[in-house]
C-alpha cells in the first residue's frame, strides 16, 4: 500500500471507528461487535506504525497516553468554573425563585433540570475540532492540565463533528458550530465518573490482590484523573458526561445545549424543561425514587435558569452563579451516638445486634436504630456503646452503622459482647459452621414466632391490610393467636374488647383476613418463611411444581434442576418440607380455609429460554415484563451468565450489557422483545 493509499484508508478507518464510538457511548447502541471494532483499531494501528508521519492527535490509537508526567501544568480558565449553591427543600427553592424575581421583575423565568452526577468536574477545549486541552476545576480560576489522562476515556471524543443535524429551529447555530469545528475553539464541561457496577468490580479486583479499596466512585474517578501516569487512568473504567457548552454559539437555551452536546458526540443527561417550581419538585421527587436504580451515583438535580442570556444577566454572587441551584436529596449518611446495643431474634432464629441511636435524620427519615449485622462486623468496625458513628440509609434498606470515630471517645464507652443464650427464651445460641450469624435453635421461641407472624401477613405474603406488627403483638399478648392458622379463625367479637379497636376497625380487619384466604401459590410459598426463599424463588417454585403437594414431594436433585436454585437453597427447601412441624403448619392453614390459587397456565413460546432485563422499559415495568416472560414459559433472571439466552436492553442500561457482550449473549432492544412476546 502506498503512502497516499494508506492516508485515505487511515481517514476512512478513523471515521468508521469514531462513528461506532458515538453509537456505543452516546446512543447505547451497537452495530458491530466489540471484537470487530478492535479489529478495525488494530488495522489502523498497523498502518500508522508503517507511516508514523500520518499519526494525528485525534487518532483513536492515541487514547493510551505516553510517558508519565513530572508534574501537571497550570491552566487558566477563560470562563471561571464556579461552584453551585445547594438547597435541600422546596421552601429553599421557592425562596431562590422569589430572589430571582426581585432581581429581574420584568423577565419570564423558566428552568431546565438535569441530574447532578457525583463525579469529578473537568473542562475540554477543542481547537479546529481536535481535543487540544483538558483541565480540572482547581480553584475555579486555575486548574491542572490533565489532557493525557482524559484522552484515555473512550466517551470523550478526540475530534468533533456533527453526527446528526440539529432541529430545524437551530439551523443558524448548526452553521456556527460547523465553522468553529473547522476553524475555531469549542469548550465543553462535564463530569468524569464511574458506574456503580464498574466501581464494585474494580474494588473486588483490588481486594483479591491485597490492595486497598476506594471508598466511593467519585474519589476513584478524581484520583485516576490526577495521576501523573496516563496508563493508570487508561486501566480504569472511567466515563464522561457533558453538561455545559461554554462557547458562545448564539442565542440558545440550556435545554438546547443538551441537544447540541449529543450531536457533537458527547453523552449527556436529557434533563427536563420545567415551567415553574412545582414542575421542578415533581421532577426532583421522581428522580429521588429512581435514584438507587440509576447506574451511577447522583446526589440531587441541578436547576438552571433555562434562558442563557438571562442566566448571564443574573451574574454571580460570591463563588456561585445566581441562575443555578443544586437541589440535593436528603443526606443518605449522618453522624450520631450509639446509646445501647441489643440483639433482635429473627424468624429463622438469626440473632442480629441492633444499635439504639440518639435520634438523627437520614434520607429525610428520623432514625433511632441501625443494624450492626453480626458479631464479626462489630469486631471489624470496633464498635463500642457510646461511640460516635456514621449511619447510612440507602432507599428502603435497613439503616446500618458503617464507620466509627474512635478519636472522639472520652473513656465512658463500653464493650459489647454477644450473648450466648437467647435473651427471649433462654435457649443456648449456636453458630453454624461457615456462618457469621448466631442463631436461636428453639422453634418455639416467642421472638421467632412473632417475627414469623410479621412475615406471614406482610405485603409479599398474605398481604392482610391493617394487620401490622403492633396489632400482631397485641393479638399474641392477648393469647388470641400463636400460629398463622389462628389468624383465619378471628371474629369481630374477639377484637372489639381490645384497646384501640372499635366495631368498624374490627370489622375491617376480619374482612381483610377473609379476603386474603385466596392466595396465589407463589405468595403462599413465600409466606412460609423458608430460609433462602425470596419472592423470585417462590415464583420459580410455583411455576415449576404447579401445586403445594408437588413441591412437598420434591427431591433435592429435582429442586436443583430449577435455574438459580443451587445446592444450598435446594437443601433448605427440602429440609423445610421434610419437617412434620412445617407440614402441620400447611395442613392447619388449609383446614382454616386458605385456598391456594394455582399459577396461570404457562405457554410454550419461550420455554427453556432465560431472559435478563437491564435499563428502563417504556411499555411496562420490569415486574410486568418478568411476569410476561414466565407466562410464556421463559425464565427471568437477575444476572447475566453463559446460560442467558437474551439480554433485553431498555434506556440507561447497566453493567449487564457489557457482561452480555463479553459472554456473547444475544442482545435485543424493547421493540424486538415486544415482537418476541406478542
Give the pLDDT confidence score for residue 58 in this predicted structure.
79
Please report which confidence band the pLDDT of residue 193 belongs to, taking 50, 70 and 90 as the band edges: very high
Are 295 and 115 in contact by the 8 Å Cβ rule? The answer is no
Burial of 376 (0-12, 13-18, 19+ CB in 10 A): exposed
**pLDDT tens, 394-438?**
554 678 898 899 988 889 999 999 999 999 999 999 998 878 899
pLDDT at 68: 56
Q: Would you state the cell numbers that stand for residue 394, as one nine-digit string?
A: 440507602
Split at pLDDT 50, 70, 90, the class of 224 is confident
Catalytic residue among 116, 239, 449, 656: 116
Q: What is the mean pLDDT of residues 252-276?
A: 93
Q: Per-residue pLDDT for 662 more than 70?
A: yes
Whole-prediction pTM = 0.52
pLDDT of res. 486: 94
Smallest CA-to-CA distance from 276 within 113, 102, 115, 111 is with 111
Q: What per-residue confidence (pLDDT) applies to 73?
A: 87
> Which set of grid coordinates corresponds to residue 24?
456505543
Tally of CB atoms within 10 A around 409: 13
Identify the pLDDT of residue 452: 94
Better pLDDT: 590 or 231: 590
**CA 480/CA 240 separation, integer angstroms:** 61
Question: Distance between CA atoms of 608 and 122, rounded to whole angstroms?
Answer: 48
pLDDT, position 580 = 94
Q: Residues 247-255: what's their mean pLDDT? A: 92
pLDDT above 80 for 36: no
Mean pLDDT of all residues in the chain? 88
Strands 610-614 and 635-637: parallel
pLDDT of residue 532: 87
So what's the pLDDT on residue 464? 93
603 has pLDDT over 90: no
pLDDT tens-digit readout, 70-118? 678 898 998 888 888 888 778 889 999 999 999 999 999 999 999 999 8
Q: Would you give the DSSP letter of residue 54?
A: G
pLDDT band at 235 (very low <50, low <70, confident <90, very high): confident
Q: Please state, in angstroms and rounded to a whole number, the distance separating the CA atoms of residues 156 and 123.
A: 11
Q: Which three cell numbers stand for residue 633?
A: 414459559
Q: What's the CA gap between 215 and 234, in Å, rounded?
A: 20
pLDDT of 518 reads 95
Tens digit of each residue's pLDDT (9 = 90 or more) over 134-177: 999 887 888 889 998 898 898 999 999 898 899 988 999 999 99
Most confident of 49-53, 361-365, 523-527, 533-537: 523-527
Among the listed residues 320, 321, 319, 323, the one whose alpha carbon sits nearest the alpha carbon of residue 310:
323
Q: Catalogue all structural domains in the chain, each as residue range(s) with its CATH number.
A: 3-62 (1.10.287.610), 86-328 (3.30.470.30), 333-432 (2.40.50.140), 446-516 (1.10.150.20), 520-597 (1.10.150.20), 610-677 (3.40.50.10190)
SS3 content of the chain, % helix, strand, coil (to 5): 40, 20, 40
380 is known as an active-site residue: no
Amino acid at each position: 500500500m502506498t503512502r497516499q493509499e494508506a492516508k485515505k484508508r487511515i481517514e476512512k478507518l478513523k471515521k468508521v471507528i469514531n462513528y461506532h464510538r458515538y453509537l456505543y457511548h452516546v446512543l447505547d447502541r451497537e452495530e458491530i461487535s466489540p471484537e470487530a471494532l478492535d479489529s478495525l483499531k488494530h488495522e489502523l494501528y498497523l498502518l500508522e506504525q508503517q507511516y508514523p508521519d500520518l499519526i494525528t492527535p485525534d487518532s483513536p490509537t492515541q487514547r493510551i497516553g505516553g510517558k508519565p508526567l513530572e508534574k501537571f501544568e497550570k491552566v487558566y480558565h477563560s470562563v471561571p468554573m464556579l461552584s453551585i449553591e445547594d438547597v435541600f427543600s422546596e421552601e429553599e427553592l421557592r425562596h431562590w425563585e422569589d430572589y430571582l424575581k426581585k432581581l429581574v421583575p420584568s423577565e419570564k423565568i423558566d428552568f431546565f433540570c438535569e441530574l447532578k452526577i457525583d463525579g469529578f468536574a473537568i473542562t475540554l477545549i477543542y481547537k479546529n475540532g481536535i481535543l487540544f486541552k483538558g483541565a480540572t476545576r482547581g480553584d475555579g480560576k486555575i486548574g491542572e492540565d490533565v489532557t493525557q489522562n482524559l484522552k484515555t476515556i473512550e466517551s470523550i471524543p478526540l475530534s468533533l463533528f456533527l453526527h446528526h443535524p440539529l432541529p430545524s429551529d437551530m439551523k443558524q447555530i448548526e452553521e456556527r458550530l460547523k465553522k468553529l469545528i473547522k476553524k475555531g475553539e469549542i469548550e465543553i464541561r462535564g463530569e468524569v465518573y464511574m458506574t456503580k457496577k464498574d466501581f464494585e468490580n474494580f474494588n473486588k479486583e483490588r481486594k483479591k490482590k491485597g490492595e486497598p479499596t476506594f471508598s466511593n466512585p467519585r474519589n476513584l474517578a478524581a484520583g485516576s484523573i490526577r495521576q501523573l501516569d496516563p496508563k493508570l487512568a487508561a486501566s480504569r473504567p472511567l466515563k464522561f458526561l457533558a453538561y455545559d457548552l461554554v462557547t458562545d454559539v448564539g442565542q440558545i437555551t440550556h435545554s438546547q445545549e443538551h441537544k447540541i452536546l449529543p450531536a457533537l458526540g458527547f453523552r449527556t443527561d436529557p434533563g427536563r424543561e420545567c415551567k415553574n417550581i412545582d414542575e421542578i419538585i415533581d421532577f426532583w421527587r421522581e428522580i429521588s425514587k429512581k435514584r438507587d436504580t440509576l447506574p451511577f451515583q447522583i446526589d440531587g438535580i441541578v436547576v438552571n435558569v433555562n434562558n442563557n442570556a438571562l442566566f448571564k444577566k443574573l451574574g454571580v454572587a460570591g463563588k456561585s452563579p445566581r441562575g443555578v441551584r443544586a437541589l440535593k436529596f436528603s443526606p443518605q449518611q449522618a453522624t450520631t451516638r450509639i446509646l445501647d446495643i441489643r440483639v433482635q431474634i429473627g424468624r429463622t432464629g438469626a440473632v442480629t445486634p441492633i444499635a439504639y441511636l440518639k435520634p438523627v435524620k437520614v434520607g429525610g427519615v428520623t432514625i433511632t436504630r441501625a443494624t450492626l449485622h453480626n458479631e464479626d462486623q462489630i469486631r471489624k468496625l470496633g464498635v463500642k456503646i457510646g461511640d460516635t458513628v456514621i449511619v447510612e440509609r440507602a432507599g428502603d434498606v435497613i439503616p446500618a452503622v458503617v464507620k466509627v470515630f474512635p478519636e472522639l471517645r472520652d473513656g465512658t464507652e463500653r464493650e459489647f459482647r454477644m450473648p450466648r443464650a437467647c435473651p427471649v427464651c433462654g435457649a443456648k445460641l449456636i453458630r453454624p459452621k461457615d456462618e457469621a450469624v448466631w442463631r436461636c435453635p428453639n422453634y418455639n421461641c416467642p421472638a421467632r414466632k412473632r417475627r414469623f407472624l410479621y412475615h406471614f401477613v406482610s405485603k409479599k405474603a398474605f398481604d392482610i391490610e391493617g394487620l401490622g406488627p403492633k396489632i400482631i403483638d397485641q393479638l399474641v399478648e392477648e393469647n388470641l393467636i400463636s400460629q398463622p392458622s389462628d389468624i383465619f379463625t378471628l371474629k369481630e367479637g374477639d377484637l372489639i374488647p381490645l384497646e384501640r379497636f372499635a366495631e368498624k376497625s374490627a370489622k375491617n380487619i376480619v374482612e381483610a383476613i377473609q379476603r386474603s384466604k385466596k392466595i396465589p401459590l407463589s405468595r403462599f410459598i413465600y409466606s412460609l418463611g423458608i430460609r433462602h426463599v425470596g419472592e423470585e424463588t417462590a415464583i420459580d417454585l410455583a411455576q415449576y411444581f404447579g401445586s403445594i403437594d408437588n413441591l412437598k414431594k420434591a427431591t433435592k436433585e429435582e429442586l436443583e434442576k430449577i435455574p438459580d436454585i443451587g445446592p444450598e437453597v435446594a437443601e433448605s427447601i427440602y429440609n423445610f418440607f421434610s419437617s412434620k412441624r412445617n407440614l402441620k403448619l400447611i395442613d392447619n392453614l388449609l383446614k382454616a380455609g386458605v385456598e391456594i390459587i394455582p399459577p396461570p397456565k404457562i405457554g410454550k413460546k419461550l420455554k427453556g429460554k432465560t431472559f435478563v432485563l437491564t435499563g428502563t422499559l417504556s411499555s411496562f415495568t420490569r415486574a410486568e415484563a418478568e411476569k410476561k416472560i414466565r407466562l410464556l414459559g421463559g425464565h427471568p433472571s437477575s444476572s447475566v451468565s453463559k446460560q442467558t439466552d437474551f439480554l433485553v436492553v431498555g434506556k440507561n442500561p447497566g453493567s449487564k450489557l457489557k457482561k452480555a457482550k463479553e459472554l456473547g449473549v444475544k442482545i435485543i432492544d424493547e421493540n424486538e422483545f415486544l415482537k418476541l412476546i406478542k
